[in-house]
Amino acid sequence: MIIAIANNKGGVAKTTTAVHLAYYLSTMAATALVDGDPNRSAMAWAARSETSFPFRVITEVQLPRLAKEFRHFVIDTKARTEPEDLKDLVESCDLIVLPTPTSPDDMRVTADTALQLATIGSQKHRVLLTKVPTNRGTDEQDAREFFAEQDIPLFRGRIRHYSAFQKAFLPGIPVFEVKRDRNAKIAWADYKSVIKEAVDGQI
């Protein structure tokens, strides 16, 4: 299975989503996280870890040589995805995940990307709401209505905004390994729900 994580805006939890998706897939079969972002955020996350990831983080240059070693691939794409890059993703991937917070500016950029994908014939993309406020406001519902009005496919699950994710990023660990944070397991449950939704019936 080949899954791309894409968005034309930074700070949307793209790398966080890629890392946790790769963790989940690696429990099923050999998995590689392809760090296609020039910032190399995924590789930096892995480098900070004191223990080995159960998946391999590689660059696009390394991919041809190592591809036969893996069954699943997660691609953390560059922040600015050109139209020709989107076309390549549609032709090459089984699923394109578009993570976005619920702020109007983030959703606008994400909607533009989703509409570009639809224009080139994609039926593989789906928006994932990230950094969703944990209070009982209307942010999530408003976001769902915004994308529904434009016929943009959306995950049923969402990723809530817990500080456990920041605590995981700094030492280079998955969120479920964060200690002394009661929300760490809840944060991982959010990702597990979304990831199961993404891969059910496809593996």
Looking at residue 52, its pLDDT comes to 77
Looking at residue 133, its pLDDT comes to 95
Tens digit of pLDDT per residue, the chain (203 long)? Answer: 999 999 988 889 999 999 999 999 999 999 999 999 888 999 999 888 877 789 999 999 999 999 999 999 999 998 777 788 899 999 999 999 999 999 999 999 999 999 999 999 999 999 999 999 998 789 999 999 999 999 999 999 999 999 999 999 889 999 999 999 999 999 999 999 998 898 774 54
Q: What's the CA gap between 176 and 18, in Å, rounded?
A: 15
Looking at residue 203, its pLDDT comes to 43
- Cα distances from 150 to residues 2, 99, 107, 141, in angstroms, run 26, 17, 12, 15
Fold exhibited by the domain 2-199:
Rossmann fold (3.40.50)
Q: Which of 115, 171, 186 is nearest to 146 (CA)?
A: 115
pTM recorded for the entire structure: 0.93
Domain regions of the chain by residue span: 2-199
